[in-house]
Amino acid sequence: MRRVLSTLGALLATVPLTLTAPGQALAATGKLIIMTEGVARNQFFDPAPGCYGLPSFRLLSRVRVINQTNADVILYSGENCRPGLLRATTRVRAGTVGERTLTGTHSIQVQPTWP
């Protein structure tokens, strides 16, 4: 009887841990478009959370990020989602458009969404 009670107590102690554990992050729903000079350079459909490389941009290119997803994205002025020297990051909120003058190689990070 004593063994049954201690086992039952251990099981009940783990219940709060399983109830409070965070769920797995979900992919964003929608489309993310990177445009320059009126041309779509990259399009991501239902992008999973993570870092995505972008093509190199000409000197002082005006880049438009059209975020038609339900997740925020962060535009980095360096490769592999690392901040650059002059301007570290630009956040483009879900459902908005962001513009920025870029030069060189950049990356974009899709933030996770939670159920």
Domain boundaries, the chain: 30-110
Instruction: Tell me the whole-structure pTM to 2 decimals.
Output: 0.72
Q: Give the per-residue pLDDT at 101.
A: 83
Alpha helices by DSSP H, the chain: 2-20
pLDDT for 15 equals 53
- pLDDT of 10: 58
**Around Cβ 65, how many Cβ atoms within 10 Å?**
22
Q: Give me the residues paired with residue 89 across strands.
A: 76
pLDDT at 22: 57
pLDDT along the chain (115 residues), means of 10: 59 54 74 92 94 86 92 90 78 93 82 76
pLDDT value of residue 66: 96
